[in-house]
């Protein structure tokens, strides 16, 4: 019987986040969203309601959209995660991000990372959705300022872009930050931290 128990101390976890392998020892009660934000410095994933209602904390876990405020980090042991920081490819926004840009899908932007993660997972499952299906898919994501009209338009834009194949070169918008710039502010208690940073020099 293989149990991994170190309570009430720490438990070892390994996970791949945005293509990067991480290993850490965490308290079992540490929430996944806090692990991403505080330990890994990936603050693009937001904490909104903290009660699994609002969807600001949605990330992808093994390809599925999940609310990272309602998982413990230890539950993601061995998983592959994608956060909002991992959506853009080669320095260009993806179709959903461009949809939010082009269709004015945000004002304050607080709900946007979760909206984009939910929308991306939804379009993977349903590439050609109706407006009603989009609204149904976004039921677990709350916006308190833009209103949903332009968010729905953003997802419709993305569906069209995706249907047309890869976005044309130059149609994306260059990102002006580097992943490693963000995570340099992470606290020191993460094991292998130096190795991780060293491993990212090539990225």
Partner 1 sequence: MFPNQFEYHRPSSVQAAAGLLAADPDAKLLAGGHSLIPAMKLRLASPSSLVDLGGVDGLTGIDASGPIKIGAMTTYAAIRDSRELKSALPILAEAADNVGDPAVQARGTIGGALAHSDPAADYTAIFLALDGSVEVTGTNGARTIAADDLFVDLFTTALAPDEIITSVSFPALDGAGTAYEKFRHPASGYAVVGVAVKIATGSDGKVESARVAVTGATSKATRATAAEEALQGKTLDDAAIDAAAAVAGNGLEINGDHFASEEYRRHLVSVLTGRALRKAAQT
Residues that bind partner 1 (CB under 8 A): 1-8, 11, 27-31, 50-53, 55, 58, 61, 64-67, 70-72, 74-75, 77, 118, 121-122, 125, 136-137, 139-141
Q: Which is nearer to partner 1, 27 or 102 (CB)?
A: 27
Q: How far is the CB of 22 from partner 1 (least distance, A)?
A: 18
CB of 14 within 8 A of CB of 62?
no
Integer Cα distance of 89 and 68 in angstroms: 22
What strand order describes the sheet that includes 20-26? 20-26, 11-17, 80-82, 58-61, 64-67
DSSP code of residue 35? I
Q: How far is the CB of 16 from partner 1 (least distance, A)?
A: 17
Q: Which is nearer to partner 1, 4 or 90 (CB)?
A: 4
CB of 110 within 8 A of CB of 151?
no
Q: How far is the CB of 66 from partner 1 (least distance, A)?
A: 5
Q: How far is the CB of 11 from partner 1 (least distance, A)?
A: 6
- Give strand pairing partners of 11: 26
Q: Which is nearer to partner 1, 69 or 179 (CB)?
A: 69
């Amino acid at each position: 019987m293989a149990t991994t128990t170190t309570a009430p101390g720490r438990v070892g976890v390994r996970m791949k986040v945005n293509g990067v392998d991480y290993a850490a020892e965490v308290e079992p009660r540490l929430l996944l969203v806090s692990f991403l934000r505080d330990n890994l410095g990936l603050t693009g994933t937001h904490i909104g309601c903290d009660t699994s209602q609002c969807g600001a904390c949605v990330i992808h876990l093994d390809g599925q959209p999940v609310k990272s405020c309602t998982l413990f980090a230890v539950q993601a042991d061995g998983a592959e995660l994608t956060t909002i920081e991992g959506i853009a490819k080669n320095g260009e926004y993806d179709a959903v991000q461009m949809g939010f840009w082009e269709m004015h899908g945000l004002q304050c932007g607080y709900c946007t990372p979760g909206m984009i993660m939910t929308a991306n997972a939804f379009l993977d499952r349903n590439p050609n959705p109706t407006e009603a299906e989009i609204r149904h898919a976004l039921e677990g994501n709350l916006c308190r300022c833009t209103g949903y009209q332009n968010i729905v338009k953003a997802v419709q834009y993305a569906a069209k872009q995706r249907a047309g194949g890869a976005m044309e070169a130059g149609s994306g918008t260059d990102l002006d930050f580097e992943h490693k710039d963000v995570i340099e502010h992470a606290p020191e208690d993460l094991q292998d931290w130096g190795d991780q940073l060293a491993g990212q020099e090539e990225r």
